[in-house]
Amino acid sequence: MSTSNRSISYVEAIREATAIEMSRDSNVVLFGLDVDDPKGTFGTTKGLAEQFGADRCFGTPLAEDGMTGVAVGMALAGLRPIHNHYRMDFATLAMNQLINVAAKTHAMSGGMQNVPMVVRMLIGKSWGNGSQHTQSLYPLFMNIPGIKICAPSTPYDAKGCLEYAIRDNNPVIMVEHRMLYYSTGHVPEGELLVAPGKARVLVPGTDVTLVGISYQSVECMRAQNYLADIGISAEVIDPIWLSPMDIDTIEASVRKTKNLVVVDNAWTICGAGSEIIASLHERLGDIAWRSKRLGFATTPCPTTPSLEDHFYPTGQSIAATANDLVNGGAQYWYPTAKDELKSVEFKGPF
């Protein structure tokens, strides 16, 4: 297979990005629960301890708060730590170090110190994981100045965001949805950087803008397909970086479509969707446009599938909402599920 169209999985993209950066810079260290075990964090850290040594890649005690503080201290001493959380829910044990220390050190020192660290936070879904294994807490962190956040949805962006995050001079949270882990897509070999400042238009369209965060960008791709069946042209945008966020690209799209559905991979209250819509209200006073937020149902995530099925937005529910918006609620429509949409991930061009 030639370099130009090489296709790898999201898991392989993360592993490759880490290996490239650890080879490039001996200050990069990686740790977290079980990063050096035989499974290697679903494969994303597999083999790295053997390749770079146990001093630079190690499993940790169960101490999220302490190990996050350790990462901050390492960063102050010139290292570039990557700290893994198997589940984003566990990062709540580290809120003090993330919010009170990592995010504020640069400012509190009058710019003399900075904390280059990456915190990988994995999100789960389905399989009856229940309330404490499915949370997607990036909106909490979006509220905090001093932290950068990315939530890539393709293997290409996963690699590029992680390499960028490792080189960034600030604390960066990388949100990784496990439903994306085995998706495949084009990823170039060698160094790859995806910086904040540019959202990705996954599919161009004219009638409605669908902004999907993390895994919900895949559901938006499904919705785009359903909508095409009834003649509605949807533009799908993945912001990639949530802090700082590229609002310009979304604004340009909504100026064209006049309709916006933002689909959070999280609860909607004070979510990324709220932020995007509020920002657009400050910018789009000169045109008439409509918007709608979608996201998790406003309740802890249930375990039983009969309820969980209604907890998450789906391609169908997003399409129905978008149709409602475009047609002003005139024609109720809910698409019938299409099996061929199981694999609709964005494949490029990047």
Partner 1 sequence: MNIDKLYQSIKTIRRVEEVVAKIYPTDKIKSPVHLGIGHEAVQVGVCENLQKQDVVFGYYRSHPLYLAKGGNLNAMMAELYGKITGCAKGWGGSMHLVDIEHNVMSTTAIVASSVPNAVGYAYALKLQKSNQVVVSFFGDGATEEGVVSESLNFAALKKLPILFVCENNELAIHTKRTQRQAVLDICGRARAIGVPATHIDEYNIETIYNIAGDLVEKIRNGSGPQFLEIATSRWLEHVGPGEDFKLGYRTEDEVAPYRAQDEVERLGKQLNPAVRAQIDQEIEHKIAQAVEFAESSEFPPQQELLKYVYK
Catalytic residues: 64, 133
Handedness of CA 243, 244, 245, 247 (dihedral sign): positive
Bridge partners of 58, per DSSP, are 31
Q: Which is nearer to partner 1, 144 or 341 (CB)?
A: 144
Provide, rounded to whole angstroms, the least separation between the CB of residue 161 and partner 1. 16
Provide, rounded to whole angstroms, the least separation between the CB of residue 56 and partner 1. 8
The conformation of residue 245, written as its DSSP 8-state character, comes to B
Q: Which is nearer to partner 1, 19 or 79 (CB)?
A: 79
C-alpha–C-alpha distance, residues 327 and 308, integer Å: 29
Burial call 45-84: b when 16+ CB within 10 Å, e when fewer: bbebbeebeeebbebbeeebeebbbbbbebbeeebbbbbb
Provide, rounded to whole angstroms, the least separation between the CB of residue 60 and partner 1. 8
Q: Which is nearer to partner 1, 167 or 292 (CB)?
A: 167
Q: Which is nearer to partner 1, 115 or 320 (CB)?
A: 115
Q: At what angle do helices 272-283 and 247-257 cross, to 10 degrees?
A: 70
**Coil vs helix vs strand at 144:** coil
Burial call 132-165: b when 16+ CB within 10 Å, e when fewer: ebbbbbbbbbbebebbbbbbbbbbbbbbbbbbbb
C-alpha–C-alpha distance, residues 275 and 333, integer Å: 28
Residues that bind partner 1 (CB under 8 A): 29, 55-56, 60-61, 63, 65-79, 81, 96-97, 100-101, 105-114, 145-146, 148, 169-170
Provide, rounded to whole angstroms, the least separation between the CB of residue 22 and partner 1. 13
Q: Which is nearer to partner 1, 80 or 159 (CB)?
A: 80
Exposure of 322 in the CB half-sphere (CA atoms within 13 A): 39
Provide, rounded to whole angstroms, the least separation between the CB of residue 124 and partner 1. 25
Name the residue with tokens 């990456």.
Answer: 118
Please say whether the beta carbons of 233 and 260 come within 8 A: no
Provide, rounded to whole angstroms, the least separation between the CB of residue 107 and partner 1. 4
Residue 194 φ/ψ region, left for φ over 0, alpha for ψ in the -120 to 50 degree band, beta for the rest:
beta
Q: Which is nearer to partner 1, 98 or 221 (CB)?
A: 98
